[in-house]
Structure 1
Amino acid sequence: MITRTDLRSAATGRAPEEPFDYRTALPRADFDVEAAVPATHRILADVQERGIEAILEMSAKFDGVTLDDVRVPAEAIQRALDELDPALRAGLEESIRRLRATSTNELETDARTELGPGAVVTHRKVPMGRVGLYVPGGLAPLISSVLMNTVPAQVAGVGSIALASPPQKEFGGLPHPSILAACALLGVEEVYAVGGAQAIGMFAYGAGPCAPVDLITGPGNIWVVTAKRLVKGSVGIDSEAGPTEIAILADETADPAFVAADLISQAEHDPLAASVLVTPSETLAAEVEAELDKQVGATKHVERIRTSLSGKQSAIVLVDDLEQGLKVVDAYAAEHLEIQTVDADAWAARVRNAGAIFVGAHAPVSLGDYCAGSNHVLPTAGCACHSSGLSVRAFTKSVHVITYDRTGLAEVADHVTTMAEAEDLPGHAQAVRVRFAADAGSENQG
């Protein structure tokens, strides 16, 4: 069901210390954003030109629903909460509580630096004015994504929050009721039944009742990802999140049933989802393969999971030892990385590239999806080598506030004018000199 990739020295014919680009040898899903650009560009242009009329036409074409308005009525949001299963409500409330606690702790305060008498620079954190949050509604209604996007935005102090999720034919053209219920729990009142690239266009350019936003966050399919790439610059985006992925670094001490279950849980998301086990233990590899054969047949989404696990994006990767395994997972830069080894904390502390790291046998990725207190909107496709997951910081921006009085400017005036003249920008130098011209005149008179 799942293939093997052998990166051990004997298989590759290289010495362990010899440099090797693991990125080219590791499995990845096909996710061709460039191929989707032309069609997505047409959708965005149509939304920008015709606004809500274009969106309503696309809802009929892509979602099979006929709508008169895309704004979800307040009574529909409240009704979804009233009808929410009490056990699910309790789970959502606990997830909100934990995520709000970690987000609050991550919130940065202003930093004030006194550089001398009358010379102060303040690094001020300012929340975004308005954000658009996208919540997918395709193969699964991602209720948790409402929380993961909304809570850090609220903690950051964002003043205006709009949320969009695809209209569902079976629910009368509204987003999934559980998504609406989560909005109600969080007090999100501006909700739109719009999906795909057209939702991103609505947020970026404004359409109908939806005013343009400053930042768009949230995962989505290839059309959503492509649209985010194309509007970047007009608005900010969190990341271009592709198919979800898990990597597990495990040794012979790992429980094969746990490892197999965690690989399956990620494969359950999407046929393109990637599940990768990196291990120096052939015994564990064989036991995990046996567990996969046993467990997959008992799951609900068998076909989806088999497609994911048998795809070229999934594999069991054999390595010489955990040292090589660490190099491999750092090169892979997984969205989710589990460490199931002896001294898991020590190995986790050495990881450089991962969206989120789950340490030990009792920290499965599904914990992070819902109730760990961490955020599950994370960089994919190797982008964890340069990008971070969604957090309260994504909903703020930094502004330097420079407060200098005459004494503070005088202390560095000569340095400023010298550097300005070195760059052949005499006007810059004069902007400083003019402030002391009266002093120079007084000295000359004296």
Structure 2
Amino acid sequence: MKIYNFKDLSKQELKELCSRSIADDNLVKSRTEEIINNVKSNGDNALLSYAQQFDNIALSSLFIGKEELAELAKQIPAEVKAAIDTAYQNIHTFHTSQLKTEDKIETMPGVTCWREARAIERVGLYIPGGTAVLPSTFLMLGIPAKIAGCKEIVVCSPPQSDGKVNCYIAYVATLLNIERVYLVGGAQAVAAMAYGTETVPQVYKIFGPGNRYVTEAKKQVQNSVAIDMPAGPSEVLVLADETANPSYVAADLLAQAEHGTDSQSILVVTSNKTATEVISEVEKQLTELPRRDIAAAAIANSYVMVVDDVHQGMEFSNLYAPEHLILATEKYEELIPLITNAGSVFLGNLTPESAGDYASGTNHTLPTSAFAKAYSGVSVDTFIKKITFQHLSSNGLKNIGKTVEVLAEAEGLQAHKNAVTIRLQD
């Protein structure tokens, strides 16, 4: 990991370090556009062809139904089943607390305004299944969708080598009472949910993380369908001071690095000594990981930033806007008010990002690529829309009428004024 010193860098150099651009981005864009157009034109045939091309499987069906999912779910080991059940309960508890009923507000006598939530009726969930199968993502997307009350939940996940989904995905599907899991991955899954095919229903909003092709596909279909957020490769920023445990910090960096070769694990430290200790631990722990080749490539894509103190560290963190921010310091409480840009924050030396990834209850579908500057992570709110209501009594119309008439006339919109005047005359 290359080491930089914050005070030695110009604003432009800092900006470039915080950029997540990758050399072949234009190639990804063009290939994704080609896949989307093929799915739009050829529907199921395109999906079957891509399953053969990308997943090396000749599918006889593009989905697994409820009965077969229940049979596959029976294969789940008892220990994993219990862990998923615990995660389900924690995630459900946390997200249920997000349901709020807003008060009706009388903005002036006789003028009442309020908002009510309505679930997005048909949503699409993308559950990755490439280098790692992620039942945790299924929980993180499916639970808030159910709590919100979405009527139809379309789930897409790449087929395994046997043309099925694994027992973990199947078990989560049974917990969520999902009717079908569509065996479609990559950009083609996003295209199928955005435009619909003979088999895959068209949805109103698409959710879920994925590789660069999935991310690019979500960006390209936004003229036709809503998405949860723009997102790219996963990332973590660990801010560590002299109170941090180097072995813990190294483990956190590697936990993020094993997601994919294009992941980033950024270390921000208050001393070169801490940086050296953490790097040594990273090298030591890396050799023991089954996915060490992937993690090593991601670590090579990452770096260390040395800062004068944790407050300067927060300045850099807000500029980087990490998906995951770990405050590996005993001073974390004084730093909380300084955080302006982060997807999810993990406080203190005993709070690994893995807890939020799986089972603490918070959602792990988060903004990456600096989109934490403007986007929130997935929540129940992401699956609903708010509709405003208003009611005017006769007294309310009298109180607000003149204001509306004057403003409408000032804008030259006579019909707007007349809509009030005709009522006042009555």
Q: TM-score range by the shorter chain?
A: over 0.9
Question: How far did 1:233 drift?
Answer: 3.0
Q: Can you list the C-alpha shifts for 1:68-87, whole angstroms capped at 9, x where unaligned?
A: 32121222210121111111
Q: Could you tell me which residue of structure 2 aligns to residue 444 of structure 1?
A: none
1:339 touches 1:348 (CA, 8 Å); kept in 2?
no
Supply the distance in 2 between the matched residues of 1:22 and 1:324 (Cα, whole angstroms): 13
1:58 match: secondary structure: helix
Q: Could you tell me which of 225, 247, 252 is aligned with 2:215?
A: 225
- Aligned equivalent of 1:56: 48
Structure 2 residue matching 1:168: 3-state secondary structure: coil
Task: Choose the corresponding residue for 1:262, options 245, 252, 256.
Answer: 252
**Corresponding residue for 2:3?**
4
Task: Give the superposition deviation at 1:20.
Answer: 7.8
Matched, 1:292 2:282: yes
Asked if 2 retains the 8 angstrom alpha-carbon contact of 1:27 and 1:315, the reply is no
User: How far is the alpha carbon of 1:382 from its aligned partner?
Assistant: 0.9
- 1:139 maps to amino acid: T
The answer to whether the 8 A contact 2:155-2:181 is kept is: yes
Residue by residue over 1:257-304, the C-alpha shift from the partner in whole angstroms, topping out at 9 and shown as x without a partner, is 101111111111101110111011111111111111211111111211
Matched, 1:338 2:330: no
Match in the other structure for 2:181: 191
SS at match of 2:114: strand
Aligned residue-pair number: 426
Gaps of 5+ in 1: 439-446
Amino acid at match of 1:51: G
Residue 126 of structure 1: SS of its match in structure 2?
strand
How far off is 1:406 after superposition?
2.6
Moved more, 149-158 or 407-416: 407-416
Distance across 2 between alignment mates of 1:178 and 1:29: 34
Describe the shift of the 1:21–1:304 C-alpha distance in structure 2 as closer, same or farther (beyond 3 A). Answer: closer
Match of 2:362 in 1: 374
Using the TM superposition, give the Cα deviation of residue 227 of structure 1 relative to its aligned residue in structure 2, in angstroms. Answer: 1.1
User: How much identity, in percent, do the aligned residues show?
Assistant: 35
Which has more radius of gyration? 1
Q: Is the 8 A contact 2:401 2:424 kept in 1?
A: no
Which of 89, 94, 100 is 1:108 aligned to?
A: 100
Aligned position for 2:408: 420
Q: Structure 2: how far apart are the matches of 1:56 and 1:290?
A: 47
Task: Give the distance between the partners of 1:25 and 1:271, measured in 2 at CA.
Answer: 17
Q: TM-score, normalised by structure 1?
A: 0.92
In the alignment, does 2:134 pair up with 1:146? no
The residue number in structure 2 matching 1:92 is: 84
Spell out the pairing of 1:296-311 with structure 2 (5 A cutoff). Answer: 296-311=286-301
In the TM superposition, what is the alpha-carbon distance from 1:210 to its structure 2 partner? 2.7
**Would you say 1:349 and 2:337 are equivalent positions?**
yes
**What's the CA shift for 1:45?**
2.1
Instruction: Please tell me the root mean square deviation across aligned C-alpha atoms, in Å.
Output: 1.7
Q: Distance in 2 between matches of 1:377 and 1:45?
A: 27
Please report how far the alpha carbon of residue 176 of structure 1 lies from its aligned counterpart in structure 2 after TM superposition.
Answer: 2.8
Matched, 1:179 2:169: yes
C-alpha distance in structure 2 between counterparts of 1:73 and 1:28, whole Å: 39
2:205 alignment counterpart: 215
Write the letter of the residue equivalent to 1:36: V
Please state how far the C-alpha of 1:205 moved relative to its aligned partner: 1.3
Contact 2:51–2:184 (CA<8 Å) still a contact in 1? yes
Counterpart for residue 276 of structure 1: 266
User: Aligned to 2:64, what secondary structure does the other structure show?
Assistant: coil
List structure 1 runs of 4+ shifted beyond 6 angstroms.
none
CA distance in structure 2 between the partners assigned to 1:202 and 1:26 by the alignment: 33
1:102-131 superposed Cα distances (whole Å, 9 cap, x missing partner):
111112223311223432111111111110
Preserved contact between residue 33 and residue 226 of structure 1 (Cα < 8 Å) = no
CA distance in 2, matches of 1:53, 1:306: 38
Deviation at 1:34, TM superposition (A): 4.5
Q: Does structure 2 conserve the Cα–Cα contact (< 8 Å) formed by 1:244 and 1:274?
A: yes
Aligned-residue offset at 1:180:
1.8
CA contact (8 A) 1:164 1:199 kept: yes
What residue in structure 2 maps to residue 253 of structure 1? 243
How far is the alpha carbon of 1:308 from its aligned partner? 1.0
Q: Distance in 2 between matches of 1:21 and 1:400?
A: 45
**Contact persistence 1:59–1:194 (CA under 8 A):** yes
Q: Could you report, residue by residue, the CA deviation over 1:376-417 in whole angstroms, capped at 9, with x for unpaired residues?
A: 001111111111111111001111111123321221111111
Alignment-derived partner of residue 126 in structure 1: 118
